[in-house]
Amino acid sequence: MPFNIPILLTWLRVALIPLVVGVFYLPDSWMTFEAKGLASTAVFIVAAITDWFDGFLARRWNETSAFGAFLDPVADKLMVAGALLVLVEFYQLNAVMAFIIIGREIAISALREWMAQIGASKSVAVSSIGKIKTTAQMIAIPMLLYGGTLFGVIDTRSWGTLLLAVAAVLTVWSMFYYLRKAWPLIKEKAGRLN
């Protein structure tokens, strides 16, 4: 397993996931619910910044590796899933929306793994739709974790819900995009089994 700064940042992101989730379970005598939301938001933002930064450094310093390529999306999916589950638990988010996003991540991860096994991973490389979806998610989730009014005018719960709805639509759209690209190979492999 290679060890470098980009991979260290990815491991840091994995280590921050329990903080994003766990802060909501601290006793109310330690922090108000609003303070918990603010703390969770701050940790999530730091984790999201490490996501951008580790990729930037890996490319800039030519320290990309197969392990880093594996660990980075796993860390991302764990971070998003953990935050979404906390939001569902504390009634900030509809469970159906969380299921759509998490279910798609599982399905596309399985599809990518299968495509890699048959040597066709480029068929399901990250698309611009997926990048827009991720951006919408990474803005929506901290807004929902905060769940209050920002600067006295921005209702983060309303904006976060709207952005996450956009992300959910893009999630379904990107899933069909990836499935459509992979479908000829799926059909071919299924035909060989018959």
Task: Tell me what pLDDT residue 142 has.
Answer: 94
**Do 104 and 50 reside in the same domain of the chain?**
no
pLDDT tens over the chain, length 194 residues: 667 888 888 899 999 999 999 999 999 999 998 899 999 999 999 999 988 888 888 888 888 887 777 888 888 899 999 999 999 998 878 899 999 999 988 988 888 777 777 776 666 666 688 788 888 999 999 999 998 888 888 899 999 999 999 999 998 988 888 888 777 777 776 666 55
Task: Tell me what pLDDT residue 194 has.
Answer: 54
Task: Tell me what pLDDT residue 187 has.
Answer: 73
Residues whose CB is less than 8 angstroms from the CB of residue 44 and which lie 6 or more positions away in sequence, other chains included: 16, 20, 79, 83, 141, 142, 145
- Could you tell me the residue range of the domain that residue 171 belongs to? 93-194
- Number of structural domains in the chain: 2
**Do 98 and 79 reside in the same domain of the chain?**
no
Last residue of a domain, one of 39, 66, 91: 91
Q: Cα–Cα distance between 129 and 118 in angstroms, integer?
A: 24
**Do 19 and 102 reside in the same domain of the chain?**
no
Task: Tell me what pLDDT residue 121 has.
Answer: 63
Task: Tell me what pLDDT residue 176 has.
Answer: 85
Exposure of 81 by Cβ count < 10 A (0-12 exposed, 13-18 middle, 19+ buried)?
middle
**Do 20 and 67 reside in the same domain of the chain?**
yes
Task: Tell me what pLDDT residue 190 has.
Answer: 63
Last residue of a domain, one of 74, 91, 108: 91
**Do 87 and 101 reside in the same domain of the chain?**
no
From 88, 60, 65, 86, select the one nearest 10 (Cα to Cα): 65
Last residue of a domain, one of 70, 91, 112: 91
Beta bridge partners of 149: 155
**Do 38 and 2 reside in the same domain of the chain?**
yes
